[in-house]
């Protein structure tokens, strides 16, 4: 398995870049730059490309609704160029809270839009005269919808690669099926190895049955929190507020993807209570309801023996990249954690 890490998107670029360079030397394989409602991810990715040499770079994630498909393709091609072919385009729908609440764009048809965006990106990277007639994107605009002057264009530059790897962040069965069909990688959240087949196995199989063999094996990215040591188990409590935020606060009742996932994992009553408390404003109370077992099994927090056992479980479930979140107070400690994880792998 490869080792990945998501940088802190709330920080500045220079300190993060220096740390990533150290992590690269420690054996980090890929670094993800999230994009929520902070600085854009592209600026940070370009900065990182200039100060690293080997580590792969990924957007984690660029949101479907915030850029046109062609701008997404142009951006990915540019990042692949400045990184000498080290970029992976992470795409995802995000959620209505960010898309509608911050960007003011309707959150609609994420599955169909994902397919069209990927089709357009690959056409741009192949430097074809761009022509796409879809449900949500029509390029170029027909005369009756524009000036009548639009004609198909192709990318001026020659991309480093005509197929830049794409990973799709997805949870729901239709989204997961689509990722397994058309993307190089799939990124779930709160990945529980022992439940993965039960929750996603059917969707993955359906997608892979339609998959182009040229795409190769589907890369599966899991994102456990990481802490290795003899007395680190109490750190699991630090993870609960984050889980409570997603399960309880990322969506209204009946419209929360993460609540639905926790329910599929077998924690339906706890998920309901977490959501009830969180939406009532009791965030601390919601965190106390997060099951210890869930925290234990979706993360890598424990003794070296425990972590090694869990690594085997992730590997057995098909995970190919661990996009870890190190629990460490300093950059030097995070570097040590990555080195220790590399040893256990």
Q: How many CB atoms lie within 10 A of CB 162?
A: 14
Identify whether residues 194 and 295 lie together within a single domain: no
Task: Give Cα 338 distance to the centre of its chain.
Answer: 19
Strand-pair partners of 39:
none
In a domain? residue 162: yes
- pLDDT for 38 equals 87
155: left (phi over 0), alpha (psi -120 to 50) or beta: beta
Identify whether residues 312 and 287 lie together within a single domain: no
Per the structure, the count of domains in the chain is 2
* pLDDT tens digit sequence for 66-81: 999 999 999 999 999 9
Determine contact, residues 35/59, Cβ cutoff 8 Å.
Answer: yes
In a domain? residue 332: no
Q: Select from 285, 291, 290, 167 the least CA-distant residue to 217.
A: 167
- Rounded to whole angstroms, the Cα distance separating 25 from 55 reads 9
Average pLDDT, the chain: 95
- Rounded to whole angstroms, the Cα distance separating 71 from 333 reads 38
Identify whether residues 41 and 108 lie together within a single domain: yes
Check which CATH number belongs to the domain holding 76 and give it.
3.20.20.30
Q: What is the pTM of this model?
A: 0.94
Identify whether residues 160 and 262 lie together within a single domain: no
Identify whether residues 276 and 311 lie together within a single domain: no
For residue 28, the SS3 value is coil
* pLDDT tens digit sequence for 150-170: 899 999 999 999 999 999 999
In a domain? residue 86: yes
Identify whether residues 160 and 38 lie together within a single domain: yes
Determine contact, residues 181/102, Cβ cutoff 8 Å.
Answer: no
Identify whether residues 241 and 188 lie together within a single domain: no
Identify whether residues 258 and 124 lie together within a single domain: no
Identify whether residues 218 and 288 lie together within a single domain: no
Determine contact, residues 221/186, Cβ cutoff 8 Å.
Answer: yes
- Rounded to whole angstroms, the Cα distance separating 89 from 165 reads 6
> What would the mean pLDDT of 231-238 be, rounded to a whole number?
97
Identify whether residues 298 and 308 lie together within a single domain: no
Q: Select from 77, 74, 138, 136 the least CA-distant residue to 111.
A: 136
- pLDDT for 16 equals 85
- pLDDT for 318 equals 97
Identify whether residues 191 and 148 lie together within a single domain: yes
Tell me: pLDDT of 56 over 90: yes
- pLDDT for 167 equals 98
* pLDDT tens digit sequence for 165-194: 999 999 999 999 999 999 999 999 999 999
Burial class of residue 316 (count of CB atoms within 10 Å of its CB; 0-12, 13-18, 19+): exposed
Determine contact, residues 8/17, Cβ cutoff 8 Å.
Answer: no
* pLDDT tens digit sequence for 180-229: 999 999 999 999 999 999 999 999 999 999 999 999 999 999 999 999 99
The boundaries of the domain holding residue 283 are: 231-302
Identify whether residues 209 and 235 lie together within a single domain: no
- Grade residue 236 by pLDDT with cuts at 50, 70 and 90: very high
- pLDDT for 337 equals 96
């Amino acid at each position: 398995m490869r080792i990945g890490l998501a940088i802190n998107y709330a920080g500045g670029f220079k300190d993060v870049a220096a740390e990533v360079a150290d992590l690269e030397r420690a054996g980090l394989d890929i670094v993800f730059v999230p994009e929520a409602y902070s600085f854009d991810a592209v600026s940070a990715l370009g900065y990182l490309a200039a100060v690293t040499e080997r580590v792969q770079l990924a957007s984690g994630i660029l949101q479907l609704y915030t850029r046109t498909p062609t701008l997404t393709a142009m951006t990915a091609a540019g990042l692949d160029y400045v990184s000498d072919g080290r970029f992976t385009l992470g795409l995802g729908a995000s959620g209505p809270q960010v898309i509608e609440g911050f960007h003011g764009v309707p959150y609609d048809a994420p599955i169909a839009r994902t397919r069209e965006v990927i089709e357009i990106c690959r056409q741009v990277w192949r430097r074809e005269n761009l022509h796409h007639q879809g449900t949500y994107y029509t390029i170029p605009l027909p005369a009756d919808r524009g000036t009548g002057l639009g004609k198909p264009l192709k990318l001026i530059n020659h991309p480093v690669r005509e197929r830049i790897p794409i990973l799709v962040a997805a949870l729901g069965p239709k989204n997961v099926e689509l990722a397994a069909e058309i993307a190089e990688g799939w990124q779930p959240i709160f990945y529980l190895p022992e439940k993965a087949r039960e929750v996603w196995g059917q969707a993955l199989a359906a997608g892979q049955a339609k998959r182009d063999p040229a795409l190769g094996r589907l890369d599966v990215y899991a994102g456990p929190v990481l802490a290795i040591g003899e007395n680190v188990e109490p750190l699991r409590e630090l993870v609960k507020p984050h889980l409570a935020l997603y399960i309880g606060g990322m969506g209204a009742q009946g419209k929360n993807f993460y609540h639905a996932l926790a329910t599929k994992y077998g924690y339906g009553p706890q998920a309901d209570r977490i959501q009830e408390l969180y939406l009532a404003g009791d965030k601390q109370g919601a965190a106390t309801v997060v099951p210890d077992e869930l925290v234990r099994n979706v993360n890598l927090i424990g003794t070296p023996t425990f972590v090694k056992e869990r690594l085997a479980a992730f590997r057995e479930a098909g995970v190919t990249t661990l996009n870890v979140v190190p629990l460490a107070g300093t950059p030097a400690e995070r570097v040590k954690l990555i080195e220790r994880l590399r040893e256990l792998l």
